[in-house]
A = this chain, B = another copy of it.
């Protein structure tokens, strides 16, 4: 790319902040802060933290245990960028917001966009929430109260209320003129909304379309007709799927009368997707919403449910096994081989269930094509059983010198794996049909059924044939 040399005279420096590409705060910085905190050298802490991005400061605050966290937040208080609060995990945000106090928050709330303000208000205890709403101007309070009236996981809670709106008969030049004069614009916007006098949405103009437009073109002619819209009561998980499915950059939020209420942008959705991923992964392992630093008793409480389900499964297994106690007495080798059938069936079952539950979640598995999925899983089960069955027979012959034992092991494993394929596909479908969440309910049911099927088949066959 060649340009004439006169341009070189004005060549400025690289204005964008130069920094390493990382999204984690380095250990060394955390240790340095720890030392400064230990010596109560707060002014040096402020100096260290000041040049950092809000998201990084939030990370630092999260990294310290509660008591030191409070000390740090108090030290930073007068220099605390309110954006930092929006980057904090919810339960830590709730702590920090209590420490900062209502007076401080009231000042801060007026400076940030409505979605960020909401992130602060909604973590407050109800009593403090009322106190805070009482000290802010009525107009702002009303708009917060409207948003707080939407269900917690709805699009209404996710949207930013500040939008740029224009009537359909304005020209591109008029729109731009009015934007230039307006001092009360959202800090960032990617769409301009065309509305009628009743505040109903007529259409959306992407900002770049406005820049490209001829100054005399009318707003109504600049509208992007492919634009999708979001109902205000839609669940935020659904909204995230919707954004992903249609690769949206932004979408307006409407009530049932098409009244424009706000806008959601793709960066808000990143947060939702991350949260949903977290939840989904933790659910598979039977851990409710929590992390490594959730307080002790809360962690205990959140984990106990799943362990109790596991305990009941174990009791069921113990009951089934106790029916075969005479067989164990006669042939102790059965006890030694017991894990083979349950574990192999269980692992195959976990694989199949996970794939099925994911496919239901992203919508690629439907009643329409469930037969095909089941057929495939049964065939994979047959192939796996064939492979591992041969290994088991070889082992049984070389170790116990018993072809019969090998055949019993291999055939009970085969039936268990086929049961795993059948249950792994059909049970999540059935659970969804009954309107429960297959991601939560499938795992324990399938594990329990596989253990029972495996034990009964293996010990039953061994008892009938060998004893």
Contact = CB atoms under 8 A, between A and B. Distances in A.
User: Does more than half of chain A's interface fall in helix, strand or loop, or is it mixed?
Assistant: helix
A196 interface: yes
A373 B293 contact: yes
A314 B339 contact: yes
A241 interface: yes
Nearest to A459: B335
Interface string A178-214: 0110000100111000101111111110111011111
A328 B335 contact: yes
A313 interface: yes
A64 to B, nearest CB: 8
Interface string A240-276: 1111111111000000001000000111011101101
A292 interface: yes
Kindly report how many copies of this chain are found in the complex they form together: 2
B55 A300 contact: no
Interface stretch (A103-111, A139-147, A219-227): A219-227
A286 interface: yes
A2 interface: yes
Contacts of A199: 1
A231 B267 contact: no
Interface string A350-390: 11011110110011111111001100100110011001100
A74 interface: no
A65 interface: yes
Contacts of A380: 296, 299-300, 303
> Which residue, A204, A258, A328, has most C-beta atoms of chain B within 10 A?
A328
Given A321-B336, A339-B321, A180 B11 contact: no
Interface string A387-404: 110010001000000000
B364 A293 contact: yes
Interface in A274-293: 274, 276-278, 280-282, 284-287, 290-293
B311 A388 contact: yes
Interface stretch (A35-43, A130-138, A341-349): A341-349
Given A282-B355, A347-B310, A258 B14 contact: yes
A125 interface: no
A333 interface: yes
Given A328-B328, A335-B335, A363 B176 contact: no
A214 B180 contact: yes
Nearest to A335: B335
A258 B367 CA distance: 52
A335 B314 contact: no
> Which residue, A30, A307, A324, has most C-beta atoms of chain B within 10 A?
A307
A174 interface: no
A355 B278 CA distance: 9
A243 B248 CA distance: 16
A59 interface: yes
Contact of A245 (B13, B23, B339, B363): B23
Contacts of A388: 307, 311
A247 B267 contact: yes
Contacts of A358: 278, 281-282, 291
Contact of A343 (B310, B334, B366): B310
A464 interface: no
Given A10-B167, A65-B369, A306-B347, 6 more contacts: A16-B203, A249-B267, A282-B355, A296-B383, A307-B344, A335-B335
25 contacts: A2-B197, A3-B197, A7-B167, A10-B220, A14-B202, A15-B202, A16-B223, A16-B227, A17-B226, A27-B366, A34-B368, A55-B246, A63-B368, A190-B249, A248-B267, A292-B356, A292-B369, A296-B376, A296-B380, A310-B347, A311-B391, A314-B340, A321-B336, A329-B332, A335-B338
